[in-house]
Structure 1
Amino acid sequence: MPEVHVHSETMLIASIAALALGPVLHWLSERARGAFAFLDGFVVVAVLGLALLEIVPLGVQLAGWPAIVAVVVGLILPGLFERRVGSKRTHAATSWVVLAGMAFHAFTDGMAVAGSHTHADSHAMEWAVILHRVPVGLAVWWMVLSAGDSKRWAAALVLALIAASTAAGYVFTDFVGAFEQGPTVGLLEAFVGGLLLHVVSHGLGKPKAPDHDHDHDHDHDHDHGSKLAPLLPGLGGLVGLGVVLWLFVYPHLDEGHGRETLTTFWELLLESAPALLIAYGIAGLLGEVLGEAPARWLGRGRAGGQTLRGVLFGLPLPLCSCGVVPVYRSLVNRGVPATAALAFLVATPELGLDAVLLSVPLLGANFTLVRVIVAFILALTVGWLVGGWLERKGGAKLDHAHEGAAKVDERSLPAKLVAGMRVGYGTVLDSTGPWILVGLLLAAFVQPWVDAESLTRLNPFAQVGAFAIIGLPIYVCATGATPLVAVLIAKGLSPGAALAFLLTGPATNATTFGVIEQVHGRKAAFAFVATMIGAVVSLGVLVNLLLPEFAGGAAAAHHHAGHSPIAIASAVILGGLFVVSLVRQGPRGFLGRLWEQGGHDHDHDHDHDHDHDHAASPSETKPESSCCSH
């Protein structure tokens, strides 16, 4: 119908014209004090939303689980080239590859505009395509001007290429429709999404702030905006978050390639939030209220005794894989030896009382006893081997200057409680929030693609390795994993594989690795992973040899009961705390936590300047982390 073609062409023109708003907004930001910092925060969050909620999910939808590998490759590949080629050249090259990938993605946008009239909610799809081009145009302009000595004409050329790619997608929809839905395109989209995440999370894509030649006297040191100025990047990020939710989340609430990921993320957040709120409180109070008593007790004796104390210290604490990491970080900050701290980190989420009690009816008393013994052995092994190695290296390179002041602390108990809350829900949360979100998002992306039932058909010993690896990135608490494992055992999963998942699932995830890297360095994180996998696989194989035939307890139905009002309220409160942290640090400061490392200096020379004076820089408030809930 002619009317349809005219309407589609109008939408195509609008989607291309929307790109031009990016340079206009950038031009305006250069002429208004504070607008540049505000816009920088907006761009960072908007581009992250584009990558995480549009480009990567589309790649996963088209290519399946291999797309997740492509995302990881895109995320880490530039870092590998930095060491050989040099960071500045690598950053510039990565930015240009990302821009080419965004031009390719624009081709799919053009196809979406051309085919939108065939969808029931065609107008919503058209406007979604048009509106998300505004942050795209702004991000392109932002990134090109930051890539080396690039000029405005180069940025305009890239925008013209994206516009031409959009038009080409519109024109050639009928010819390339089948190819556009293929796995090759999905892998390319996922790889570009990973590169885009690397560019933004490493502080790239940020042009220099303009020089404002004010004629008025500067002796007042900008008092007229000094209180608001440090918050401008964060406020821009908050607006960007709203745009992301509107453009990329709201349209997929009922249908779309991101629905399953969003649903999984929300479920994980609901399960994690109560434990996280408890954990942040404990993490703050450990240092401010209890002082040096836990550190002195955990540090007594030799490595073996310290490891055992670390396990015992965590037994009464209601912490799962999400909540244990902030407390672990606080213990290390108080000078607790790595032997005790790592044993605490591994044992606490695996030996929770509720998980043990639930195991008895679902898995049987004998298997529950084996589960407890194996978890105990694993924690002692990791604490003694990895922790002992770290202690011989000299432990974590942390600032313990505050310890002397803590010994003569004369504050009242209410003052200590208030200070503890500020530390736990401020300093600790600022450090761990990004890693928590990374862990939740990674689990949300991976979990729907894990076909656990098909894995039960593997050889029993192959199952052990498969389920040990599956448990590494997945966000799951020991209690929540128990019914799932009971069902899988009933379907033929070997007991060793079941234990492998119960060991790695609660004790490891992206958050755990990230914080160990922050505290002790990258080598320590790799050593932790290698030791965990080696010990878990060995223990799982041993269990299969000793218990080849095993029948679980009562039949278990793995289902999600309705979440309690406490869980929902906790998720809302936790989300609010994350938003406050984002505003306080700014998006670049918030993301900078992901690349802090302990043990050595972070050897990147890219720009981590935060155009805001948040209370503590990443180096001043080192992170702590966490992940799930009972």
Structure 2
Amino acid sequence: MLYLAASCIALLLGPVFYRFFTTGTGLQKGLDGFIFVSLGGLVLIHILPELLEHGGLLSILFLFIGMWGPSASERLFHKYSNLTHNITLFLGVSGLLLHTLTDGGAMVLAQQAGNSSLLALGVILHRLPIGLAIWWLLKPQVGTRWAIAVLTAMMLLTSVGYFAGEQLLAHLSLDNTVYLQAFVTGSILHVVIHQPHAHSKPDHQGKYEYQAGIGSLLGIGLLFGLMLMGSDGHEHNHHAGFVPQLLQWMLTIAPILLICYLAAGVRYALGLTPNIKHPKLKWIQSLIGPETLLITGLLLGPWLALFQAVGILCITGYLTYAKVIPNTATFNSNDTFWKFGLSHIVDRSAPWVLLSLILVNLISYPSVLLIQPIWQVIILALFLFPMRFCPIGAAVLSLSLAYGGWSISAILLPLLAAPLINITQLKQMRPAQRIILAGLIIFFITLAQWINPQWHAIFNLPEWVNALALVLLSLLFSISLLRLGPRKFLLSLVIFTPKPHIHEQQQHH
């Protein structure tokens, strides 16, 4: 009973924190950053892996329908955009309500002999951001009464899950409701991303992004705490081993990334910048850095580095001959050596590194690991189209695929084409140019699949050096997060940046 009472109190703390944090615009931004990271992270790190385990790749389809379907509906039916958004909000809240039933069951498991109380503590802690998010989502939209009603319903459903027999919980298990839960999980992500509270005073000059960054860092801290508790061995075996795997992956890649950032500063000082006039050199720095060869060569092996270098040179030669202009990110041409490498490049690549931390966990599920290399390449290409990759991000993605056991052709695809085959860049090319480009990419990944070089790391440093590098890398990423704010930091991954919803009824509230 003590666990049940504590979980309900954790939900009720949401309105208290909300009232405190909305006393000023800076605190509001901090609250937004905390919820954006903590609730989104709970979905990606805790809920999504379970959906993949029980529903396979089809659950991802339902998640994307729930996440992007409302945006498509609002574009098609402008007059009913307010209704569409409210339906999405209802679905997202319904998903959180359904999830509370399993929370109650988890606390019962924690009370059984031989189980650790850390499981119950993890449930209680993760309800803090959920209670806060319910108030944050509903109070500006539908008012205080409905927000109180939903929190009350969550406490009642938690009690039902706590006292219900195994038969009721079996009917609501993921095996029976996986696609429904995937759809409502997408609805949750949609509502979180599109800022339902965007009617508050806008921050056009980014004055309060620092506070948003502080909130997001607190959210990251909460997520890591929950992952450590989840690794106690009482969740499914795959998730229990995720934290040690994650830590080892971070320790391995941290020193290489620091070297890459310094190498990027060196090539900037030597004149190889995004604003360079020479078309071939412009394409080389856009596609390969060339500092990303350090990641490929040291962590994936010389063979893959050779494939990447030769492939990029051939693709660059063709694009230069065809007079295709690269779609490069803007930056301040007056940047110093240090600011370019440790600020501009960090801002571009840090979101991809964090995304890869999630992918390391997700893509190693048997249900996600497609057997046929051709299907791996097709699914990966569809993933690349709407994304705004940088060369370092492409190399880190390939490293994640290698750790996940994907085929050599799938590993090579991001190294050759991730910064290139996005919708914005392809629109600047004629149909014949796209066909020739696709032919070059297919030739190199087919050749790699035929030769089948085995990837292996050839770089090994003492543990204390890796730990120090990880501390420095975490510091750089934290500064970037504070500088940009969580939304600008993460949404730079995609080409289509979602805009906040502003509906008429919001102005009333």
Q: 1:382 to 1:186 in 2, by over 3 A?
A: farther
C-alpha RMSD of the superposition: 4.6
SS in 1 for 2:117: helix
Cα displacement (A) at 1:437: 1.2
Q: Which residue of 2 aligns with 1:604?
A: 499
State the alpha-carbon separation in 1 of the partners of residues 69 and 481 from structure 2. 27
1:577 has 2:508 as partner: no
| 1:56 to partner: Cα distance | 1.7
One-letter code aligned to 2:151? L
Residue 137 of structure 1 corresponds to: 131
Q: Deviations over 1:586-628 (max 9, x none)?
A: 323323423456xxxx573547xxxxxxxxxxxxxxxxxxxxx
TM-score by length of 1: 0.63
Q: What corresponds to 1:244 in structure 2?
A: 223
2:386 aligned partner: none
CA contact (8 A) 1:464 1:537 kept: no
Does residue 80 (structure 1) correspond to residue 61 (structure 2)? The answer is no
Among 253, 256, 270, the residue aligned to 1:290: 270
Match of 1:422 among 306, 314, 339: 339
Spell out, residue by residue over 1:251-306, the C-alpha distance to the aligned partner (whole angstroms, 9 max, x if none): 3254524234434433332332223212222334444x23468965743xxxxxx2
Q: Secondary structure at the match of 1:20?
A: helix
Deviation at residue 532 of structure 1 after TM alignment: 7.4
Which residue of structure 2 lines up, in the alignment, with residue 269 of structure 1? 250
1:259 aligns with 2:154: no
Q: TM-score with structure 2 length normalisation? A: 0.76
Q: 2:155 aligns with which of 158, 163, 168?
A: 163
1:449 equivalent among 351, 363, 366: 366
Q: CA deviation at 1:112?
A: 1.7
Q: Percent identity?
A: 24
**Unaligned ranges ≥5, structure 1:** 1-6, 212-226, 300-305, 311-335, 360-367, 407-415, 456-462, 489-496, 608-630
Matches within 5 A, 1:590-601: 590-595=489-494
Residue identity opposite 2:413 in structure 1? T
Deviations 1:465-510 (A, max 9, x none): 145357767976889999999xx9xxxxxxxx74x2452264466x
Paired residue secondary structure (2:167): helix
| Superimposed CA distance per residue, residues 516-536 of structure 1 (whole angstroms, 9 cap, x where no aligned partner) | 66xx468579x9999877544
Contact 2:315–2:437 (CA under 8 A) maintained in structure 1: yes
Corresponding letter in the other structure for 1:53: I
Q: Structure 1: how far apart are the matches of 2:437 and 2:361?
A: 23
Taking a change above 3 Å as real, the CA distance of residues 562 and 35 of structure 1, as seen in their structure-2 partners, is same
| Residue-pair matches, total | 482
Map 1:39-78; keep pairs closer than 5 Å. 39-78=31-70
* Residue in structure 2 matching 1:379, options 312, 317, 326: 312
| 1:347–1:379 CA contact under 8 A, matched in 2 | no
Aligned to 1:105: 99
- Which whole-Å CA distance do the structure 2 matches of 1:483 and 1:237 have between them? 28
Shift of 1:26: 1.5
The one-letter code sitting in structure 1 at the alignment partner of 2:468 is: A
Report SS of the residue matched to 1:121.
Answer: coil
Residues 171-227 of structure 1: CA deviation (Å, up to 9, x unaligned): 433223333444343343344333333333x3414365589xxxxxxxxxxxxxxx9
Per the alignment, residue 279 of structure 1 pairs with 260
Identify if the C-alpha distance between structure 1 residues 450 and 567 changes in structure 2 by more than 3 Å, giving closer, same or farther.
Answer: farther
Matched, 1:586 2:503: no
Residues 35 and 382 of structure 1: is their aligned pair in 2 closer, same or farther, counting only changes over 3 Å? same
- Are 1:15 and 2:7 an aligned pair? yes
Query: Take 1:237 and 1:385, find their aligned partners in 2: how far apart are those partners?
Result: 43
Instruction: State the secondary structure of the residue aligned to 1:594.
Output: coil
1:293-344 per-residue CA deviation (whole Å, 9 max, x = no partner) reads 8965743xxxxxx2xxx5xxxxxxxxxxxxxxxxxxxxxxxxx2x4x44554
What is the letter of the counterpart of residue 566 of structure 1?
Answer: V
Provide closer, same or farther for how the CA distance between residues 386 and 178 of structure 1 changes in structure 2, counting only shifts above 3 A.
farther
* Deviation of 1:421 (Å): 1.4
Give the Cα–Cα distance (whole angstroms) in 1 for the partners of residues 118 and 278 of structure 2: 59
Cα deviation digits, residues 338-395 of structure 1 (max 9, x gap): 4x44554699649966689755xxxxxxxx9xx95x6566435644666777x55x65
Closer, same or farther in 2 for the Cα pair 1:177/1:59, shift >3 Å?
same
**Residues 268, 475 of structure 1: 8 Å contact kept:** no
Does the C-alpha gap of structure 1 residues 39 and 182 become closer, same or farther in structure 2, counting only changes over 3 Å? closer
CA distance in 1, matches of 2:212, 2:456: 47
Alpha-carbon distance, 1:102 to partner: 0.6
Relative to structure 1, the CA distance from residue 41 to residue 104 in structure 2 (aligned partners, 3 Å threshold; closer, same or farther) is same
Alpha-carbon shift at residue 135 of structure 1 (Å)? 1.6
| Matched-pair contact (CA < 8 Å) for 1:74–1:194 | yes
| One-letter amino acid matched to 2:490 | L
Q: Which amino acid aligns with 2:499?
A: H
